[in-house]
Amino acid sequence: MNCKILLINNLFFTFLTFLLSDPAEGTATTPWFFNRLQFQLLGSGIFCDNIPGLSSAQKKLCRNSPDVMRDVGAGIQLAEEECQHQFRHRRWNCSIFSYQSRDTTLFTNFISRGSREVAFIHTIASAGVVQSLLMACSDGSLSNCECDPSKKNGKSRDSKGEFDWSGCSNNVKFGLKYAKSFTDAKESETRDLRGLMNLHNNNAGRRAIQKHLQLKCKCHGVSGSCGVRTCWKATQDFAIIGDFLKTKYNRAVKVDTTQDSTGKLVAVNSNRSLRKGDMVYMDESPDYCLHNPFVGSLGTERRTCSTNKRAKEEEHCDDMCCGKGFVSQTIIEDLNCDCKFQWCCYVQCEICRVKKDVSTCKSKHKKLSGNNSTVT
Ligand SMILES: *[C@@H]1O[C@H](CO)[C@@H](O)[C@H](O)[C@H]1NC(C)=O
Ligand SMILES: *[C@@H]1O[C@H](CO)[C@@H](O)[C@H](O)[C@H]1NC(C)=O
Ligand SMILES: *[C@@H]1O[C@H](CO)[C@@H](O)[C@H](O)[C@H]1NC(C)=O
Ligand SMILES: *[C@@H]1O[C@H](CO)[C@@H](O)[C@H](O)[C@H]1NC(C)=O
């Protein structure tokens, strides 16, 4: 069983990851358009009914607008990459996104907890989908999304004075509405704590994008005098969203439902009330030190860590290896270098040998042997 598909079943983004997974990892000659061909296949619509894990509401959305699915998929990939970047030096490093193993217990146990990490995954995936839809909408590649009609003509004001709306402002309403209908489809039926947690985090993800929309302007007039300004709303770089959500993760709020009939989410052990932009979780996380399928922890054996005093604490070997020790060695790495794009269409690289000092957490299972290794 491919756990990617399982993950996706559990979240809302079922089918895309198998289409999105790297076709042939590590080969320098893989054509760069490979993934795009896979996206185009989605347009044929045959997938919507055959994809395991989609709710009937999601299947309907998929059939009605298969080209939107391409952007949903791209948004998920955006989220996955940003998640792995944000957590690259942490014990939990978001590799669960691409976890493939026969050990589905570990995976299922991870995803069924309402931990902070699961909260992060939901929030950033929801944000990624909105971001991707807004981007597609404003560059005109999405057929059923028009430029925001309310911001196409007319004037408005900001701190620098009056300006004209121009170009294609992101159709924010469309992006938010579509993303909501897709991401919330599974949760809307269930009103238990976990369902409410997911809905809250999906919404927090959408808000993060909305909050970071920026006004971009261009000056017109005699020799750049800026007599006339035209402006449009645009999304921010997703890395900024990633940083923002990481802060939300650090301040995530533990929640429970009210005991009365309203069954709303409330913050527990906290003096402040819950805000819409908060990332919320319900279960404490394991420490992720040891491999433990029952709590969904991969463990940190053989993870690389830093002995540099200036490194962040979480990256430092003592913290990463949970005090269980680490091994430092010099390795010889074969790296791709001097890569050149060849017409058409592949990338050709030279191989460069470099010496490198690396530290890795000790492993109970296999002794690290030898002093050279090859990494590409
Ligand atoms: C809540 O506020 C009280 C009084 O200000 C304080 O003693 C307590 O530690 C606070 N609790 C939390 C969880 O912050
Ligand atoms: C992330 O953590 C897992 C489990 O500890 C490990 O197998 C994987 O190599 C790590 N990935 C990166 C990029 O460090
Ligand atoms: C180191 O690499 C060389 C050539 O790549 C190989 O012949 C040798 O067995 C390796 N040594 C160890 C200890 O792995
Ligand atoms: C491996 O380590 C041994 C001693 O620790 C050293 O003599 C040898 O030159 C090293 N080999 C490489 C390829 O670094």
Ligand 4 centroid to 327 CA: how many Å? 15
pLDDT at 351 over 70: yes
Q: Are strands 265-267 and 253-257 parallel, antiparallel or unpaired?
A: antiparallel
Ligand 3 centroid to 24 CA: how many Å? 26
pLDDT at 326 over 70: yes
Ligand 1 centroid to 238 CA: how many Å? 35
- The first and second tokens of residue 242, run together, are 């990633």
State the greatest distance between any 2 C-alpha atoms of the chain, in Å, as a whole number: 72
Is 363 touching ligand 2 by the criterion CB < 6 Å?
no
For atom 9 of ligand 2, the residue with the nearest CA is 303
* Cα–Cα distance for residue pair 211/233, rounded to 1 Å: 12
Question: For 186-216, what is each residue's pLDDT tens digit?
Answer: 666 567 888 889 889 999 999 999 999 988 8
Is 372 touching ligand 4 by the criterion CB < 6 Å?
yes
Could you say which ligand is closest to the alpha carbon of residue 370? Answer: 3
* Cα–Cα distance for residue pair 73/129, rounded to 1 Å: 8
pLDDT at 263 over 90: no
Could you say which ligand is closest to the alpha carbon of residue 332? Answer: 4
CB 130 within 8 A of CB 75: yes
Q: CB under 8 Å to 58, separation ≥6 — which residues?
A: 12, 14, 182, 185, 186
Looking at the DSSP assignment, which residues form a beta bridge with residue 281? 254
Average pLDDT score over the chain:
77
Ligand 2 centroid to 88 CA: how many Å? 8
* Cα–Cα distance for residue pair 286/295, rounded to 1 Å: 7
pLDDT at 24 over 50: no
CB 289 within 8 A of CB 91: yes
Among 163-177, 186-200, 283-297, which range has the highest average pLDDT?
Answer: 283-297
Q: What is the pLDDT of residue 209?
A: 95
Is 371 touching ligand 4 by the criterion CB < 6 Å?
yes
Which whole number is the average pLDDT over 300-311? 90
pTM: 0.74
Q: What is the pLDDT of residue 43?
A: 45
pLDDT exceeding 90 applies to what percent of the chain? 29
How many CB atoms lie under 10 A from the CB of residue 1? Answer: 11
Is 328 touching ligand 4 by the criterion CB < 6 Å?
no
Q: What is the pLDDT of residue 246?
A: 97
Name the CATH superfamily for 303-375. Answer: Wnt (Wingless and Int-1), C-terminal domain (3.30.2460.20)
Where exactly are the structural domains of the chain? 3-281, 303-375
In one letter, which amino acid is 114? G
For atom 5 of ligand 4, the residue with the nearest CA is 371
Q: What is the pLDDT of residue 123?
A: 93
Peptide bond into 345 cis (omega under 30): yes
What element of type H or E holds 57? helix 56-64
236 DSSP 8-state letter: P
Question: For 45-90, what is each residue's pLDDT tens digit?
Answer: 456 666 555 667 777 877 777 777 778 778 888 888 999 999 999 9
In 11-160, at which residue ranges do the beta strands (DSSP E only) sit? Answer: 155-158
Q: What is the pLDDT of residue 253?
A: 96
Ligand 1 centroid to 269 CA: how many Å? 8
How many CB atoms lie under 10 A from the CB of residue 109? Answer: 17
For atom 1 of ligand 3, the residue with the nearest CA is 372
pLDDT at 148 over 70: no
**Per this entry, what is the length of the chain?**
376
Ligand 3 centroid to 289 CA: how many Å? 31
